[in-house]
């Protein structure tokens, strides 16, 4: 299976190691893994080019291209961030902002339904689940087929300070999650919540369809019928 890892931080702390503990248990070789950090991606400037015209007009598209290609090629997507004041890192949020056009409310990638995604976070005391939920929301709206969350309270500021007891727990949890992913990969069914959101947006595109670029996308993929042109 092909695995794409996207880190919301550059340093190799607890979050990085939690992600890699999971990855080391997946049925993939080194060549199957693509790994990125998002720290060099510029902030979204709110130009709306991606949403109303074409994502390739984004002023930062060159920076994004390799990551987006790796996302498209992946069977399993893993994205991580430490908890920073009860949220994901600013860098990771800046990356997600650039993918707004891929939300089901605009032009989702139909292939996402076949993929598995994992949201990973660590925290010193509270909030890892808050962060994985935030990341999982992005996956949900990208129309990812199966979404997992791996939040961990590590009670430490660095990986070296994580106790043996917590490392044991990490081992057990990542064992369980990896075996689920190894079984499921290649046989993913689009989850119910995702299907409901897709259905809701199908109706919106069919009815309101305020953005012609989005409507055309839904028509092109056969998700809605082409509207008859009015004479």
- With CB atoms as reference, the residue minimizing the distance to ligand FMN is 13
Which lies closer to ligand FMN via its Cβ, residue 130 or residue 182? 130
Strand partners, 82: 122
* Residue 92: CB minimum distance to ligand FMN, A: 12
* Residue 13: CB minimum distance to ligand FMN, A: 2
Which lies closer to ligand FMN via its Cβ, residue 11 or residue 193? 11
* Residue 128: CB minimum distance to ligand FMN, A: 8
CA nearest to 223, candidates 210, 208, 207, 206: 206
Which lies closer to ligand FMN via its Cβ, residue 45 or residue 157? 157
In the complex, the residues that contact ligand FMN under the rule CB under 6 A are 9, 13-16, 82-86, 122-127, 154, 156-159
Which lies closer to ligand FMN via its Cβ, residue 72 or residue 161? 161
* Residue 151: CB minimum distance to ligand FMN, A: 11
Angle at which helix 14-23 crosses helix 164-184, to 10 degrees, equals: 40
Angle at which helix 192-207 crosses helix 212-220, to 10 degrees, equals: 120
Which residues are CB-neighbours of 72 under 8 A, at least 6 positions away? 109, 111
φ/ψ (deg, to 5) at 149: -120, 140
CB 150 within 8 A of CB 118: yes
């Amino acid at each position: 299976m092909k695995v794409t890892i996207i880190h919301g931080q550059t340093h190799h702390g607890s979050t990085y190691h939690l992600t890699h503990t999971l990855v080391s248990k997946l049925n993939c070789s080194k060549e199957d893994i693509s790994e990125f950090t998002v720290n060099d991606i510029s902030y979204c400037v709110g130009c709306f080019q991606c949403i109303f015209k074409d994502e390739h007009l984004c002023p930062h598209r060159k920076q994004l291209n390799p990551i987006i290609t790796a996302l498209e090629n992946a069977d399993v997507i893993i994205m991580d961030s430490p908890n920073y004041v009860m949220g994901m890192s600013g860098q990771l949020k800046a990356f997600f902002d650039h993918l707004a056009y891929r939300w089901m409310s605009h032009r989702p990638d139909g292939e996402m339904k076949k993929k598995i995604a994992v949201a990973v976070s660590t925290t010193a005391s509270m909030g890892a689940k808050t962060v994985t939920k935030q990341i999982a929301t992005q996956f949900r709206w990208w129309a990812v087929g199966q979404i997992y969350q791996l939040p961990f309270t590590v009670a430490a500021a660095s990986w070296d300070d994580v106790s043996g007891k917590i490392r044991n727990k990490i081992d057990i949890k990542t064992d369980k999650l990896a075996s689920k992913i190894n079984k499921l990969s290649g046989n993913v069914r689009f989850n119910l919540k995702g299907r409901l959101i897709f259905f809701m947006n199908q109706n919106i595109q069919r009815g309101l369809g305020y953005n012609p670029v989005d409507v055309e996308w839904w028509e092109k993929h056969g998700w809605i019928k082409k509207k008859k042109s009015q004479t």
